[in-house]
Amino acid sequence: MTGVTDTSHRVTGLLRAADHALVRTVDGLDTAAYAEPSLLPGWTRAHVLAHLALNAEALAGALHGAHVGRPQPMYASQEARDGDIDELAARDPAELRERLMAGTATFEQALAAMGDGDWAGTFERTPGGRVVQAAAVPLMRLREVEIHHADLGAGHTHAAWSAEFCAVLLDSLTAVEHPTPLTVRPTDLDGEWRYGPDGEGPVVSGTAADLAWWLTGRGAGESLTSSTNEIPEMEAW
The 10s digit of each residue's pLDDT in 140-177 is: 999 999 999 999 999 999 999 999 999 999 999 999 88
- The DSSP call for residue 154 is S
pLDDT of residue 5: 36
pLDDT above 70: percentage of residues in the chain? 97
> Where do the domains of the chain lie, and which CATH numbers do they carry?
4-156 (1.20.120.450), 163-226 (3.30.1050.20)
pLDDT in tens, 122-146: 999 999 999 999 999 999 999 999 9
Lowest mean per-residue pLDDT among 5-14, 70-79, 218-227: 5-14
Cα separation, 140 vs 138, in Å, equals 5
Looking at every residue in the chain, the average pLDDT score rounds to: 95
CB 225 within 8 A of CB 211: no
The answer to whether the predicted template modeling score (pTM) of the entire model surpasses 0.85 is yes
Residue 27 phi, psi (nearest 5) = -65, -20
Confidence band of 99 (pLDDT split at 50, 70, 90): very high
Indicate the helix (H) or strand (E) that contains 100: helix 93-113
Within 105-201, strands assigned E span: 122-124, 131-133, 182-186, 193-195
Give the confidence band of 236 by pLDDT, cuts at 50, 70, 90: confident
- What residues have CB less than 8 Å from 236, skipping those under 6 apart? 216, 217, 218
